[in-house]
Chains A and B, each alone.
Chain A
């Protein structure tokens, strides 16, 4: 009789029969291991959660009271017949890959990840495995990112230019991860940094988790372009173009996303400035990550799965597609236009 696979794919999420737990399930289960606190991965209604301390801090903020256990990176934990450990995924602070070992066979679920260090998240750690379940949000060769230092300089140049023209700079970025990553790269010498409430709250939580970030001022009545000339405002993308953003007067609007690599999408968003900044791996990043796992079996999920699977099969991998409810940036991009 064939051995049962280490992980199986069910309509609730990825399941480990040996340990009877799920990884990032999208329907209520008793025991969930969560890769990171973004809402498509960390959902409410689980009996028990396991995640890194940083992820848990953000999840408690978003999900309210939950029963949970924190697990530090690299510490093995026995659950039933499986040994589980978490390893940095480099996606956002606290984000993890999940390594599951059953009877000497190792499978790794990547969660969302990126290879290049962003100066804030714990850097991605390649984990050797037999089977790798990888996201591929940007699994096309048109997606390539530039080094963090160049990106930071570009954002600061834009901010300084606007400040010199007497305009505020309103920068749209997701409140968990992208906002703090941008914040870490901002040059506070240019001007004050203002934050939308959603960004400020998440930033405060991550500061408590030990992240060193420049000083920010929460936008409340009275805090606007007049009280803080030349400010940079960090806000969730949904706040761009709303009455909330109008308090900053004639502002330049920027948006940070991997999708900004495509001219058509930049034009559709019709922001003044699109920064190509993503918390997901680019084409080279995906290929490097997969190579470094040494895995011969690869399952791809959310993103350009059909194309990326075929590419991996061409490279000699035993490659398959897993349908999940995780949406990654593809959903973000669709949501962008419905805002």
Chain B
């Protein structure tokens, strides 16, 4: 655990990717096999299930530290992290132990089965054995909240450096439905066995947001465009007569969308398709349903007949990665899409399958005009992909661009402020915004992001001086600061006093030029609601 804690500390204290990679690579060279395997598992989101209830844990820690519950809660509010709060308030370890990461994970996985008094004993014993960062990590692992700021790509690179195996090969080997119980470090990372897992998907190719004008991309004839669908990115893998469906988070979601299993009968073996899982109405020519409809399906592991009938899904296909058992990712997009069209010809119109239609455009202004109509097509914007590009691993700049619709905006007044968590502890960063309704300011949304640390620092000083009332951690402030709030969607919400709810609200900028009286009205927001229908 000491070695793993040192790795965590090294990754946590540097912001330089090269140093993070070097620290990870050194760890992958030196750590015992089972620890390496668990580290890969943890860094790819395969963490142990929560073993202890967070409330219990807080109670036990306060008790050991000799602090009243309210003081523990106040400390938690400042650090913003339960595992850290516990690690900080406990006395130093009385009996330090030198067990490995795997030893500790084994103990942690045994916790859930213990009756509560024994579980408590085991946790208290761990706290007296672990110090500083180790204790923090232990707490993260038992509460199921372990995260480490390492992107999958960075881990892949570090493993490639440590083993001398090419990065794309490593990426492919780490995909799929494995756990440290079902494999070993040697079998997972060091062995090249393509038949080992027929269900294995390819790493997804990810797009960058287009931040400049599309003219900067050069001649339009080098590019293809289609809609940017508002669903879940998915990969359909059909090999050896077996159909599996993967989401971008590398999660196996075959069982959540049982209607797509039909594709096993419609497509040949040795096919891997990249596309979007979309809630879709079959009426007329068919049309995507709003994302809110798909949300009802996400997270449901078993799907009722009614839900299947009310919210059917389709696979909106846009790329072909494997054709007749051959990995064609290196071929140009134009060739892959031609192959995809050929396959699609044999799929009957009744099947839950569509080709994402190409959007022909003669010049960039024409594409801009198409993009402006994205909402009417049930899309979020357009995707622009270079016709000559291969299917990259991960987020590589230059060939795939997403060009989303501009967000909707209004100017709202800050009415409440709350201190942030984690890296924003002791700064006021979580704000509630209101719009005018007559003489009254009606809260409409919260937002946390979009400003610079310098602006948050300035607002923090302002909040301290302009607090009207405190409700625990929340401060009601003088309604004076105006912010432009951007959001991706707006819908009716009887649960909110304002009657509306926003999707992805964030602060676009601080309108220092605008007095509160000139902020927008609730009516303006309701107009947006009607306009989007």
Write the residues of chain A forming the contact surface with B, with a CB cutoff of 8 angstroms: 140-144, 259, 261-268, 270, 272-274, 304, 307, 310-311, 314, 330, 333-338
Q: Tell me if A337 and B13 are in contact (CB < 8 A).
A: no
A337–B422 CA distance with the chains assembled, in angstroms: 15
Q: Which parts of B441-461 form the interface with A (CB within 8 Å)?
A: 453-454, 456-458, 460-461
A278 → B minimal CB distance (Å): 14
> Are B425 and A264 neighbours in the complex by a CB distance under 8 Å?
yes
Complex Cα spacing A141 to B66, Å: 10
Q: Are B85 and A142 in contact (CB under 8 A)?
A: yes
Known: A142-B78, A142-B89. A263 touches B84 (CB 8 A): yes
Known: A264-B80, A264-B81, A307-B74. 8 other contacts (CB 8 A): A142-B89, A263-B136, A263-B422, A264-B424, A266-B12, A268-B453, A337-B456, A338-B453
Inter-chain contacts of B136 with A (CB < 8 A): 263
The reply to whether B425 and A265 contact each other, CB–CB distance below 8 Å, is yes
The listed residue (B13, B89, B423) touching A265 by CB distance below 8 A is: B423
Known contacts A268-B453, A337-B453: A307-B71 contact under CB 8 Å: yes
Contact: A333 with B426, CB < 8 Å? yes
Closest to A270 in B: B15
Q: Within the complex, which residue of B74, B424, B461 is in contact with A140, where a contact is CB–CB below 8 Å?
A: B74
Interface residues of chain B, those whose CB is within 8 Å of chain A, are 12-15, 65, 67-68, 70-71, 74-75, 78-81, 84-85, 88-89, 136, 421-427, 453-454, 456-458, 460-461
By secondary structure, the A interface counts as: helix
Cross-chain contact A262 with B456 (CB below 8 angstroms): no
The majority secondary structure among interface residues of chain B is helix
Return the chain A residue nearest B76 by Cβ.
A142
Chain B residues with Cβ below 8 Å from A307 are 71, 74
Minimum C-beta distance from A146 to chain B (A)? 9
Chain A CB within 10 Å — which of B14, B15, B67, B74 has the most?
A: B74
Sorted nearest first, the 4 A-B pairs with minimum C-beta distance are: A338-B457, A337-B457, A142-B88, A264-B422
Some 25 contacts from A to B, beta carbons below 8 A apart, are: A140-B71, A141-B65, A142-B78, A144-B88, A259-B426, A262-B79, A262-B425, A264-B80, A264-B421, A264-B422, A266-B12, A266-B13, A267-B423, A274-B13, A304-B74, A304-B78, A307-B71, A310-B70, A314-B68, A330-B426, A334-B427, A334-B460, A334-B461, A337-B427, A338-B453
Q: Which residue of A lies closest to B458 (CB)?
A: A338
Q: Determine whether the beta carbon of A267 is less than 8 Å from that of B12.
A: yes
* Distance A230 CA – B421 CA, assembled complex (angstroms): 37
What A residues does B423 contact at CB under 8 A? 263-265, 267-268
Give the Cβ gap from B474 to chain A, nearest Cβ, in Å.
13
The complex places the Cα of A307 from the Cα of B472 at a distance, in Å, of: 11
In the complex, what residues of B have CB within 8 A of residue A144's CB? 88
Q: Which of B85, B136, B426 has the most CB of A within 10 A?
A: B426
A311 B456 Cβ-Cβ under 8 A:
no
Interchain CB contact (< 8 A) of B79 among A264, A268, A274, A311: A264
* Complex-state Cα separation, A262 to B136, whole angstroms: 12
Chain B neighbourhood of A266, CB < 8 A: 12-13
Say whether, besides A142-B88, A262-B79, A264-B421, A338 and B454 are in contact (CB < 8 Å).
yes
Q: Which residues of B contact A262 (CB under 8 A)?
A: 78-79, 84, 425-426
Check A273–B427 contact: CB distance below 8 A.
no
Output the nearest chain B residue to A268 by Cβ-Cβ distance.
B423
- Specify which of B13, B78, B424, B461 is in contact with A268 (CB 8 Å cutoff): B424
Q: Which residues of A contact B88 (CB under 8 A)?
A: 141-144, 261
Instruction: List residues of chain A with CB within 8 A of the CB of B425.
Output: 262, 264-265
Closest to B427 in A: A337
Q: A263-B84, A268-B423 are in contact. Are A140 and B15 (CB under 8 A)?
A: no
Residue in chain B with minimal CB distance to A143: B88
Establish whether residues A335 and B424, one from each chain, have CB atoms under 8 Å apart when the complex forms.
no
Report how far A274 CA is from B426 CA in the complex, Å: 17
Contacts of B79 in A (CB 8 A): 142, 262-264
Report the bound CA distance from A336 to B458 in whole Å.
11
Tell me the bound Cα distance from A30 to B214 in angstroms.
67
Give the complex CA separation of A311 and B75 in angstroms: 12
A261 to chain B: which residues have CB within 8 Å? Answer: 88
- Alpha-carbon gap, A160 to B287, bound state (A): 65
| Residue numbers in B under 8 Å from A141 (CB-CB) | 65, 67, 71, 75, 88-89
Pick the contact of B426: A265, A267, A335, A338 (CB < 8 A): A265
Which A residues are in CB contact (< 8 Å) with B453? 268, 337-338
Contact (Cβ within 8 A) A140 B427 = no
CA–CA, A270 to B15, complex, Å? Answer: 7
With CB as the reference atom, state the residue of chain B lying closest to A261: B88
Contact present for A267 and B422 (CB under 8 Å): yes
**Closest CB of chain B to A241's CB: distance in Å?**
11
Chain B, Cβ-Cβ closest to A338: B457
Expressed in whole angstroms, the Cα–Cα distance for A263 and B423 within the complex equals 7
Residues of B within 8 A of A314 (CB): 68
B60 CB, min distance to chain A CBs, angstroms: 15
Please give, as numbers and ranges, the residues of chain B lying within 8 Å of A270 by CB-CB distance.
15
List residues of chain B with CB within 8 A of the CB of A264.
79-81, 421-425
